[in-house]
A and B are shown apart, each in its own frame.
Chain A
């Protein structure tokens, strides 16, 4: 597993790599980054000087469990492929890991199987691996590999979300929130952080009773938000039936138009995003180092039983880590 990311990037870009080899190498790189998310740094280093290592459109698809995110993604992929038969569409789909066994059944891909043998589509399923927030730690790295092999647009499907899984904001240019009839009333929508992260809202399963109600509830909540004047101004798409494809062309029109309009804005955002990704892994790695060889129970006892100040205990911990590092690197 200690293959160099840089070498793999080179292999993907090499003129004499076959298409099959390129795909396999990309898939391998995704596994490496999934297992060791901090290695996204190597990937960023390998592409940092390039303007176009980023797709023009990264769409996040989120919403309650079972609202039809995967089925809708499948339909959206078909529409994008219809419009551009030369390009490559990427999908990263995250499903939850079992908190009990750490295992997972990843079932998003099953809704998109018809694209499997299309050489212009690359789909990767990820398990959340205990990470909260709707994605896995490795998702940002895997998305970068997708973009490296030219997937544009790239679609990222989050786990089915409740209220606090809003990490997708950091990765996507546009966040699409998928609702469907039978998934709670408007108060629940109001409570959910989802309302605050959506750029585009869409009601799926328009063939089912109640779809219109959800649609009009969403419309009034979006109007309310507009009156509050707080930040993002979400757009309501026409209702969709992902099964039949009704409304999907309109959604893709909307996404493409927003991408066009916002390209220069997003370009700036991407630079910040890259720095954020690196900042994340620095902190993650530091936390890991801090924990190394520390008896956390002793720390807990110092706070609970000996009444030491939290600040005091934390400072000790950092000081101890600093000592340790000095010793290791002999300075």
Chain B
């Protein structure tokens, strides 16, 4: 039957710029994914609990502020706590390349910096969820 991949997009942090999160939501929708868009200023707790209730295969985090390392660490820890480590986490935003490497080592599956072509994002995400 018709299996669809569901992905949650959220934007933690205090700033109200949701352009990146909305952009990625549309890119993924146009590629045939079902996107649960949760909006700005989300806490890691909200993101992870919503991801569990929605039973998504992946969480995409859009971040502009400098707090990405702690933010991702908290999300990964919460997923672990809830026994939901099969949910893939990826991120995007103005993340310095040094930090991106650190994030990947800590369990973030992919990091997209501004300017990554839509096609590349879609391919990567599709890969991630098909392996999960």
- B42 cross-chain contacts in A, Cβ below 8 A: 113
Residues 6-48 of chain A, each 1 if its beta carbon lies under 8 Å from chain B, else 0 = 0000000000000011011001101100111110000000000
A1, A36, A105, A129: most-surrounded residue (chain B CB, <10 A): A105
- A101 and B38 in contact (CB under 8 A), knowing A27-B54, A28-B55, A124-B53? no
Interface residue B37 (Cβ < 8 Å from any Cβ of A): yes
On chain B, the number of residues with a Cβ less than 8 Å from chain A's Cβ atoms is: 33
The 5 closest A-B pairs by CB, nearest first: A103-B29, A27-B55, A110-B39, A103-B32, A36-B1
Q: Are A101 and B1 in contact (CB under 8 A)?
A: no
- 9 A-B residue contacts at CB 8 Å? A27-B52, A35-B1, A35-B3, A101-B32, A103-B32, A103-B33, A105-B29, A110-B37, A110-B39
Interface residue B59 (Cβ < 8 Å from any Cβ of A): no
Q: Are B31 and A105 in contact (CB under 8 A)?
A: no
Q: Are B36 and A106 in contact (CB under 8 A)?
A: yes
- A122 and B53 in contact (CB under 8 A), knowing A1-B3, A113-B42? yes
- Give the interface of A toward B (CB within 8 A): 1, 20-21, 23-24, 27-28, 30-31, 34-38, 97-98, 101-107, 109-110, 113, 116-117, 122-125, 127, 129
- A110 cross-chain contacts in B, Cβ below 8 A: 37-39
Q: Are A125 and B2 in contact (CB under 8 A)?
A: no
Q: Are B49 and A103 in contact (CB under 8 A)?
A: no
- B35 cross-chain contacts in A, Cβ below 8 A: 103-106
- A97 cross-chain contacts in B, Cβ below 8 A: 34
